[in-house]
Structure 1
Amino acid sequence: MDHFFLIAGAGLLAGAMNALAGGGSFVTIPALIAAGVPSVQANASSTVALFPGGLASAWVYRDGLQPLGNVSMRLLLLITLIGGILGAVLLLLTSAQTFDHLLPWLLLIATIVLSFGRQFGEWLRRHVHIKPAAVLIAQFILGIYGGYFGGAVGIMMMAVWSVLTNRDLKTLNPPRTIMVSTANGIAALTFIIAHAVYWQQTLIMLVAAIIGGYGGARIARFASPQAVRVATLMLTFGITAAFFVRAYG
């Protein structure tokens, strides 16, 4: 428990970040690693710790689900569920040394998506038309990514979905939240069954993340969206750079 305040503080910050702009795993995974949790188990524990907050958001959005073009929600859920299981199993089969070298690149991908994902989605909608079958394939791949790591996966999903519909991005938040929670939930269950979760650290972070999520939702009422976005991106770029130095420095 020497790292109690580090873990609790990371949970508070991650919960607030997820409520405001996303990217909470950028804080929780480094904090768990700093507390002595191996990187693979840190990722697994982070997924479990942040899942209840995402589940609460999914419950709030439960009435906003509508088909995306010709793709039904049930089919998207099934594809995401299968992909999430596969991603979680792939993570458990990854050695800590390999994951230590992969982690900076996963963080970089998530940072780029956080920075440019919405613009990319708008560009796709103007220039590309993807058939439903291609969207399902992309959703399966994103489900795998969500179960394996999951950083910024919700924004990736919205970018892909935006080519199917002219719906406002705000109306895509309900399916995004449900699909991310599906991938994270099945991954969390897989990690628990595989005994890959460090429960002492995870429970502290879980409670703190719920409190942080509530606080973040309150802050969102008056905080400048631009200021929140800039602060989030500065933090994610800094953490990504630090992990590149850690892995290759």
Structure 2
Amino acid sequence: MCERGGRGIGAGALLLLPASSFEAAVPWLLAFATVLLAFGRHVSRALSDALGQPLGMSSTAVLIGQLVLAMYGGYFGGAVGIMMMALWSIGLGLDTAAANPMRITQLAAVYLSATALFVVASDALSSAHFLAALLIGAVAGGAGGAHLARRLPPWLLRSVILTSAVTMTVLYFVRG
């Protein structure tokens, strides 16, 4: 319930705010997510050592985190998966391979909700063939990516995700 509202808020913000605010925010959102992903386990370990106990998130913190991520995903879906991995790495101590099925499920929920709002609020239905082609490509790519991710060793999966995140971040800053 909480996450569903977050998706709608993020998607609504994208529809209401000027395109220039989105373009200015994207590189910084990516950079933040990438840094968290890259150093999340180190931060988690350091905090656990400092506290003298394993770091964990309460159920309330998880709900709040997921609400924020859903808003973020509704606004800018391109890095929400990286943000989820970073949050879960820091707060739950999950490794990339273990968290990936949950991440995919969460991403599907965020993207489906935001997409439904965008389709209703736009003229996308007037290009039904194009929309169908995009949907088929997204489903095929998502299924293929999930299939591949399950077979990769955890260290390689993390490396691929982190390399992709760094590359996207750099390209968005260079594109300016």
Shared topology, TM-score over 0.5? yes
Question: Paired residue for 1:233?
Answer: 162
Moved more, 130-139 or 119-128: 119-128
Q: TM-score, normalised by structure 2?
A: 0.70
Residues 186/215 of structure 1: CA separation in 2 closer, same or farther (3 Å cut): closer
Decide which of 112, 120, 135 is 1:193's aligned counterpart: 120
Matched, 1:111 2:34: yes
Taking the TM superposition and a 5 Å limit, the aligned residue runs for 1:96-107 are: 96-107=19-30
Moved more, 101-110 or 224-233: 224-233
Q: Deviations over 1:93-133 (max 9, x none)?
A: 12111211111112212322332345545555646455443
Question: Paired residue for 1:158?
Answer: 88
- Displacement of 1:90 after TM fit? 0.8
Percent identical pairs in the alignment equals: 32
- Displacement of 1:145 after TM fit? 1.2
Contact 2:96 2:158 (C-alpha < 8 Å) held by counterparts? no
**Structure 1: which 5+ runs fail to align?**
1-77
Q: Deviations over 1:190-218 (max 9, x none)?
A: 11111175956554333223333344345
Contact 2:10 2:75 (C-alpha < 8 Å) held by counterparts? yes
Q: Which has the higher helix share?
A: 2
Paired letter, 2:8: I
Q: TM-score, normalised by structure 1?
A: 0.53
- Displacement of 1:92 after TM fit? 0.9
Paired residues in the alignment total 167
Paired letter, 2:63: L
Residues 236/196 of structure 1: CA separation in 2 closer, same or farther (3 Å cut): farther
Residues 143/214 of structure 1: CA separation in 2 closer, same or farther (3 Å cut): closer
Residues 123/143 of structure 1: CA separation in 2 closer, same or farther (3 Å cut): farther
- Displacement of 1:80 after TM fit? 0.6
RMSD: 3.4
How many angstroms apart in 2 are the aligned matches of 1:90 and 1:97?
13
Residues 182/207 of structure 1: CA separation in 2 closer, same or farther (3 Å cut): closer
Question: Paired residue for 1:204?
Answer: 133
Query: Greater relative contact order (Cα 8 A, min sep 6): structure 1 or 2?
Result: 1
Contact 2:89 2:95 (C-alpha < 8 Å) held by counterparts? no
**Structure 2: which 5+ runs fail to align?**
none
Moved more, 88-97 or 193-202: 193-202
Contact 2:55 2:92 (C-alpha < 8 Å) held by counterparts? no
Matched, 1:89 2:12: yes
Moved more, 136-145 or 185-194: 136-145
